[in-house]
Amino acid sequence: MKTDQEYLDLDKQLLWHPYTSMSKPSPHFLVEKALGCEITLNDGRTLIDGMSSWWSVIHGYNHPTLNDAIQEQLSQFSHIMFGGFTHKPAIELAEKLVAITPSELQRVFFSDSGSVSVEVALKMAIQYWNTQNKPDKQFFVTPKSGYHGDTFAAMSVCDPENGMHNLFTGALTKQFFISPPPTGLNEPIQIEYLTEIRNTFEENHERIAGFIIEPVVQNAGGMRFYNPEYLNQIRALCDEFDILLIFDEIATGFGRTGKLFATDHTNICPDIMCVGKALTGGYMTLAATLTNDKVALGISDNSGVFMHGPTFMGNPLACAAANASLSLLSEYDIPAQISQLETWMEEALSPCEQLEQVKEIRCLGGIGVVELKNPVNLHEIQPKFVELGVWIRPFGKLIYLMPPYVISKEQINLLGKAIYHVASELPG
């Protein structure tokens, strides 16, 4: 039997982790178990989870309801191809998603990751316009500072300059980029920004298939919060210029912004909406792309089939976990529970405002952000958080929290104290 250190040595030798180097890897910590909002390492140390495992484990780890749902489905069958077959977990999940998302979204396409759900959305838009005898509508408009995934079409609509994918610029489809939405949830609308969008549409609408955006919060592109009224205005512009509106709710969906979906901060409905991450409560990889009858029937009535079919589409185990997760979520008072979480984070992070290293503190729903004046070195800063008994993974200039919804005030306070301690030791 291998020792824990032998496992770690093999990891360093064999495994290529995300956003890291094989020759100069960041430290990785061997997990023994996880329960609730705590992660236990192989050496016995326990960490409070401030990340929800990349924003997905909203109910905490090892939840009995989710465990039971997967075990029950496992006793029947774990996977079956979705071509020619169907199954109750997928049907029930589609029914639940249609019930809780904007009313016009009546059709559901499952995939196995958020990035792929974006690929599906972009393909839907292009294929739809092809069936409407507008084959030149092949491109997309999107704001800078956006992030939509690491696969190729998704990378093409991520920030081309300051994002993670500028290395691949030459290989990506050239899309139309506009300025990021002006920040500030309650800041007045800047007409100049809407004029920029209008001008882009006027000049290029015959080539534009869709406008894709993360509603209300640009997440991995900088945790930027903006006024939802921009989305209402963008919807009107899309209608005027015959352009599909696509919302990427992968990070913002299922309560993270204080409403069930960030779309609920608006009074409009997108033509296509992507969901993932918290869909299964962080148990299984699963995503969905929802659309309206205009798109779904436009494609189906004119070209017969939509040209996409993931092998693990509609995986029964993942669908069972998602059904259980959505049932749990329906028992929450989302506005009250997430508002309380927001208040706790504001209180826990507020001491950081005194630090010269800090530019701004901002919170929205289950998102708490400490924006620094200078970027952090993840390789150096991650172990410091582990030493303090918390799991926080900063990026760029941001030290942020997206904890499980079931976290306690005491645990939030410990996360806040750890951030203050580590930030105070950074260069000013």
pLDDT digits (tens, 9 = 90+) for 48-88: 999 999 999 999 999 999 999 999 999 999 999 999 999 99
Q: Which helix (H) or strand (E) holds 165?
A: none
Q: What is the DSSP letter of 36?
A: B
- Per DSSP bridges, beta strands 367-372 and 358-364 are antiparallel
Percent of the chain residues past pLDDT 70, beyond the cut: 100
> Nearest-CA neighbor of 285 among 135, 39, 79, 127?
79
Is 248 annotated as contributing to ligand binding?
yes
The answer on pLDDT for 428 being more than 90 is no
Please give the pLDDT value at position 316.
98
Query: Using one digit for the tens of pLDDT, what is the confidence trace for 341-375?
Result: 999 999 999 999 999 999 999 999 999 999 999 99
Determine the Cα–Cα distance for residues 256 and 287; give it in Å rounded to an integer. 16
Is 25 annotated as ligand-binding?
A: no
Residue 363 structure tokens: 């919170």
Q: Where are the alpha helices (DSSP H) in 158-314?
A: 191-204, 229-240, 293-303
pLDDT average, residue stretch 27-32: 95
Q: Side chain identity at 135, as an amino acid letter? A: P
Residue 54 marked as a ligand binder: yes
Order of strands across the sheet with 398-401?
Answer: 358-364, 367-372, 398-401
| Distance separating alpha carbons of residues 60 and 404, to the nearest angstrom | 6
pLDDT tens for residues 186-230?
999 999 999 999 999 999 999 999 999 999 999 999 999 999 999
CB atoms within 10 A of CB 275: 27
- pLDDT, residue 162, reads 74
Given a cut of 90, is residue 15 above it in pLDDT? Answer: yes
In the prediction, which pLDDT does 325 show?
98
Binding residue per annotation — 316?
no
Q: What is the pTM of this model?
A: 0.96
DSSP state of 426: S
- Calculate the average pLDDT of the chain: 96
**Residues 6+ away with beta carbon under 8 Å from 175:** 139, 140, 141, 142, 156, 157
How much helix, strand and coil, in percent to the nearest 5, is found in the chain? Answer: 40, 20, 40
Q: What is the DSSP letter of 178?
A: E
Q: What is the 3-state secondary structure (H, E, C) of 369-393?
A: EEEECCCCCHHHHHHHHHHCCEECC
CA distances from residue 354 to 156, 158, 389, 406, 416 in whole angstroms, order as listed: 39, 34, 23, 29, 13
Three-state SS at 226: strand
Interval 85-104 mean pLDDT = 98
> Is 193 annotated for ligand binding?
no
310 is in an annotated binding site: yes
Torsion of CA 363, 369, 370, 376, to 10 degrees: -170
Q: Tell me what pLDDT residue 26 has.
A: 86
Q: In 10 A of CB 225, how many CB atoms?
A: 22
Predicted confidence (pLDDT) per residue in 241-252, tens digit: 999 999 999 999
**Residues labelled as active-site residues:** 19, 147, 248, 277
- CA pair distance 12, 3, nearest whole angstrom: 14
pLDDT confidence of residue 303:
73
Say what the pLDDT of residue 169 is: 84
Both tokens of 24, joined, read 């100069």
Q: pLDDT tens digits, residue range 110-158? A: 999 999 999 999 999 999 999 999 999 999 999 999 999 999 999 999 9
